[in-house]
Each structure stands twice: as C-alpha cells, then as structure tokens.
Chain A
Amino acid sequence: MSQTLPPIRRISGQAVVVPGDDIDTDRIIPARFLKCVTFDDLGPQLFRDERFDEDDQPKEHPLNEARADGATIMVSGDNFGCGSSREHAPQSIHKAGFEGIIAGSFAEIFFGNATTLGMACVTLQPADLRELQDLLTSNPALDVTIDVEALEVQAGDRIFQAELPSGARQSLLEGRWDPLTDLLAAADDTKALVEALGYHNGMRGRSA
C-alpha cells in the first residue's frame, strides 16, 4: 500500500519564460482537452491555443522556440494558474517535461495540484523575478536551479531568495508530496471524527 516517493531537493535545467500575469488554467489547457479519462496525452496540448492558430500553424510563443526543448523550469508572472481547478493544467505542464515553476505568486488550487505531482512551485520578489526574466531573455542557455532545501533560485552566478510554504517544502524534501499514504494512515481517526460530528448523522434521505 505504501508508496515511496523520491525526495525533491533541487531541480536544475534550462528555463523558459512564459511572460504575463494571471495566466489562467483555460489558457494552460483549453477545456476541449479535458475530454479524456487519463492525463497521459496532455503534454503536447500545453498552451495549445497560445502556441497554434486555428489552422494548427505555430504562433510566436516561447514554448515554440528551440530554447524550450528539454526545458525543465517554467518562469512566469503573478497569480499563475488562476481560474479552474482542473488538474489537467499542472499535469500538462508536468507531462511536457517541467519539474518546477518560478512565479510572482500562484493561484491556490493550482499550487496544491502541482505540488501533489511533485513539482516545485516557488515565488520570487517582483524585482528578482524581473531580473531573472531579463537574464533568461538575454541568455536563454543559462542553467537555472530551484533549490528547495536552501530556498534559493540560482541563475548563472546570481542567487535569488525564493519562497515556498513550509508544508509544501517539507513534503517535497521528505518525499511525501503525494499525501495519499499519509492520509490513509489516519482512517480510524477520520471515522471517529465522522461519528463525533453530529451533523453527519442528520444526513439521511437517500430515498426521501
């Protein structure tokens, strides 16, 4: 039953900047791609309508550039992943090869969904985020590291202080980012709490 997950201490690799604030999950993965019973084929659909026109011709987009090939870190703006709760959004980013995201801030549901997949989602102060984006624009080959342990983002010889809520950080470092095993361990306590909470007993009427 128990599932052993590898600890995630640092993620290194090429980074691609997807500029803009409030990048919503409809943009990350348009709703028509939610028609699936598994997440397996979502990678190629990432930012589909931003990357391709209605005739499937590529548009100008950072993910269509050569530098995006093999990238493992995405860099974006504020409120990344706002909107729908669809896990298809972080799944498509993950399946496209990304292991970490650096942003100004994250929408909450997206952040939880991405963390559960083992993606490190860290935030930088506005000035640092701008500087990182500028560095990557002028030097796309720059290697970037998200250090979950040290709470830093390294880009070349620049080091930025990063933020990551302690619960998420700890779960990545301890290989507990998928919480199911932890949650299952408290099944008895959960049942006892359900018994103790009066309102649950009032919830009858399946046939009423």
Chain B
Amino acid sequence: MNPPKSLFEKVWDAHSVRELPGGQTQLLIGTHLIHEVTSPQAFGMLRDRDLPVLMPERTFATVDHIVPTHSRVEPFEDEIADQMIRELRKNCDTHGIELFDITTGHQGIVHMVGPEQGITQPGSTIACGDSHTSTHGAFGAIGFGIGTSQVRDVLATQTLVMNKLKVRRIEVNGELRPGVYAKDVILHIIRTLGVKGGIGYAYEYAGDVFDRMNMEERMTVCNMSIEGGARCGYVNPDETTFEYLEGRPYVPKGAEWDAAVERWRSLASDPGCHYDDVVVIDAADIAPTVTWGINPGQAVFIDEAVPDPAEAENDAERASITEALEHMQFDPGHRMEGTPIDVAFFGSCTNARLSDFVEAASVLKGRKVAEGVEAIAVPGSQLVKAECERLGIDQVFKDAGFEWRDAGCSMCLAMNPDKLVGDQLCASSSNRNFKGRQGSATGRTVLMSPVMVMAAAVTGHVTDARRVFESKPEVVA
C-alpha cells in the first residue's frame, strides 16, 4: 500500500523531472499559458540564445492585459499596446503556438480561456506569467504564476525550478448565509490568515462549502489564493469538475474521456494524508465582505467598522493601518456602509464569468445606476460576452446605465485605457486594492462580490446588497 498523499504531492511527484543541487525540483509544466504583456521579453531571450520552443503544442496564448475593451478597431489607439499584441501574434506564428486571438471568438482573460476550452485539466501543472494562475487549481490542477525569465524557461525546456510547497487544508463547513458569495469566502480567508499567511504553502480548499460550489465559484476562490500569499490553491476534482469539462474542445473524448476521469478521480487527496496545517472555518460566520485598505487582507464585514490604529497590536500594524486609512481618506472607525463611490467596475479573472453575470443581472434588472456613478461591465471572455448577449443580460446592464464592454482585464490592472482618475473610489469585483492598482496613484479600490458591486452601483455608495435587493426595484426600465 502506498502511503496516503495529498493531491498536491501526487501531482508534484508525477511532474518531477529531477532533483537539483540545493534540493529544488526541476518540475515539468504540463500546460503553459501566455499573454501579450509578460511574454515578449521571454521570446526575446530565446532569440538572444538562439533557442527553439521545446513543445509549442503545450503553450496556449491569448490577449487580455492590454487589449482595449471599448473598441476593437485596429491598429489600437495605444501604439505600444498595438505593438505588444502584434509581437505576440508574430511569436505565436513563428513558433507554432495556438493563439486565441480576437478574431477567433474565444479570446478572453487567460484564466477564463483555459477552463472554457478544457485546456485546464485536473492533475496537471499549469504555469503562466500572471499571479492569478492559481485560478486553475479549481480543477485540481497545480497552477502558479511565474516571472518572465521563467516564461522563457518553460518555452525553452517545458520545466521550471521550484521549491516544493507545504500544504494547508482550509475547510469551510456548514452553509453560507443568503447573500454570501464565493468572493466573500476568499476575502474572509485572506483576512483571517493574512496576506502573507500562505507564503510557502499550497492551499487545499475543502469542506461542505467547496463541495457544493460550482466550478466558477471555485475559480473565484482559487484565483485569490495568491492574495493570501499562497502561490497556488486547489479544490480536489469531483463530479462537478468532470461535468464542467465534459465535451469541451481540448478534453479527451470517448473511451479516453472515461480513462481520464478515472485517473483524475484517483488524484484527489487520500483520506488520512498529511497536511502541514489545517484551518477550519464555519461558513455561518461569513458575511458580505468589503475591503477598506490597500491590500486584500484589510477587509471587514459590511456592518463592521474599519480598524483604529490606536488599537493596533504593534507598531508595524499601526503603521500599516495608518497608511491605508490615509490613502483611502477614511477616519479610524469609519463605516464602509454609506461610503460614496465614483466608479463601479464589474470584471476581472476573479469575477467575470457567466454565473457572475447571471447573478448580477438578476438583482440589477429594472434598476438604474445612481447618478454620477460611472459603471462598466467587462465580461471575462468573448464566450461569456456572447452568452450574456444571447440571454439578454447585456440589455439589463445597458438599460441600467452600465457600459457593456469587450473581454479583457480592463480596470483590474488598468493597463488599457480603463483607469480611475484622481482619487476616485471604485467598487470593484476584481482582486487587488493596492495603491495605484486601478491606474491612478491616488485612486481608491474597494473589493467586493459582483452583487455587492451592483448594490453600490445602484445606490451610489458601498452598502449591504441583501438590504438593497430584498424588495422589488422602484425604478422599472
């Protein structure tokens, strides 16, 4: 009998090419994803050393970070953006790499394209020059973000130098209260364990709440593992996983599908396997959560007050709270409820999937964006956008006064023209509230679930969506 192992260990061991001096592992990367911003320099490094791409069929590309979402007319207004996108096309063409370009109808944020196409599969190792590669862990894959030199390494060798991670099992048991979403769960986990709590760990999400979540909700949670310091986070593959994947373009078909499912099932963590740490959270303790500061761990339940530096436990915490309050222009003890917003951003690889749009549209229908609020809805992929349009969801957003955009990362990191201006405050369904993150050095970001963004958009302030949407809309479109 083999000793019981976690999924992480099984996948790690299976992909270990060899141990390197110093105890690091040369790890095979089963699937490599690239985009226009962190890959051109890597291809340049290959050219400098006259190296080919070792396994071009194991790399997939799309454009997301810099691509404009308001107009798809080429050449793009931003010359450098245009150049970077052309560079990606050229590199993919030269090396025979599949590119999900705008014209394919399958373009989107790289962490949406992988799952949609069935490229993201259980038990694989997935790397991408983007920290939110942890998203793919929702499928029981080990996905992690890498730098550009490592993109080069994967292109040239299909491997990486990695240190083996420890595994922390995070169980959320019981039932979530109504109006509490996957986003609230991960914000609560990060708040509880801290933004550096996950350094050195892979997070295994388990328990009733994750068992019941659909794949898109699991992706929301795994996506933000890195915000808690964990380079990857995963959920063990189960029937929900297989149901989502079956029939997608890149998964095996027929008898090969059956064999794959059997193999994937065997990769789930064994009962009684070793965990380096276990954290148990009661689902009933989680309420709709919003951030108040400048990192994703600085969060409160919507009915709580933000901290007072005077009550900090140590100097470092005091300095951190003071800096955050100063940037956010909040007083100690401020209540997030009622904080006026300037912008509502609904998008990003955290929360711009079909189920996010369905849920958001169900509360938005018949309501209007508050006067003075700039609201944009950015589907994460062209497929999500098309499906929303088929279902009439785009009309709900347009009728409410949202701008309805094309797929991309948009105002999550503001590399394209979608940016905050000055000290605007943005209710955002994205993943980072760092200073300057949304394109203005003094801009302010409040992270929350899509439904909470809808509540903020229609009332003009940060508020409890449960209360806003308990009654029928007053304004009928």
Contacts and interface: CB of A to CB of B under 8 A. Distances in A.
Interface of A: 1, 3, 19-22, 24, 26-27, 30-32, 34-39, 49, 53-54, 77-79, 82-88, 90, 105-109, 112-113, 116-117, 165-171, 174, 176, 178-180, 182-184, 186-187, 189-190, 193-194, 197-200, 202-206, 208
Contact of A190 (B17, B57, B195): B17
A182 B20 contact: yes
Contacts of B250: 203-205, 208
A179 B18 contact: no
10 contacts: A26-B413, A79-B229, A82-B196, A108-B199, A167-B23, A174-B21, A178-B149, A190-B26, A199-B263, A202-B256
Interface stretch (B34-42, B209-217, B272-280, B447-455): B34-42
B17 A109 contact: no
Nearest to A52: B441
The 7 closest A-B pairs by CB, nearest first: A113-B147, A87-B147, A85-B145, A202-B252, A167-B22, A170-B22, A49-B441
Given A49-B436, A199-B121, A37 B157 contact: no
A105 B251 contact: no
A3 B45 CA distance: 13
Contact of B229 (A20, A85, A107): A107
B424 to A, nearest CB: 13
Contacts of B231: 108-109
B149 A38 contact: no
A199 B120 CA distance: 11
A150 B197 CA distance: 28
B198 to A, nearest CB: 9
Nearest to B14: A197
Given A86-B147, A204-B250, A107 B199 contact: yes
A158 to B, nearest CB: 21
Given A22-B320, A208-B249, 16 more contacts: A24-B295, A30-B436, A35-B415, A78-B316, A82-B295, A84-B130, A84-B131, A87-B41, A107-B229, A167-B24, A171-B22, A179-B153, A180-B153, A183-B156, A183-B159, A203-B252
B163 interface: yes
Interface in B396-455: 413-415, 432, 434-437, 439, 441-442
B238 to A, nearest CB: 17
A19 B323 CA distance: 12
B366 interface: no
Contact of B196 (A22, A39, A86, A168): A22
Given A85-B38, A85-B129, A199 B439 contact: no
Interface residues of B, number: 90
A115 to B, nearest CB: 9
Contacts of A184: 51, 156-157
Contacts of B20: 167, 179, 182
Contact of A35 (B17, B84, B147): B84
Contact of B38 (A86, A206, A208): A86
B152 interface: yes
A203 B144 CA distance: 20
Contact of A21 (B18, B320, B414): B320
Nearest to A203: B250
- Among the interface residues A180, A189, A204, which one has the most CB atoms of the partner chain B within 10 A? A180
Contacts of B158: 190, 194
B458 interface: no
B124 A109 contact: no
Given A27-B435, A169-B22, A179-B161, A20 B44 contact: no
A167 B19 CA distance: 11
B270 to A, nearest CB: 19
Interface string B124-155: 10000111010000000000111111101100
A26 B438 CA distance: 10
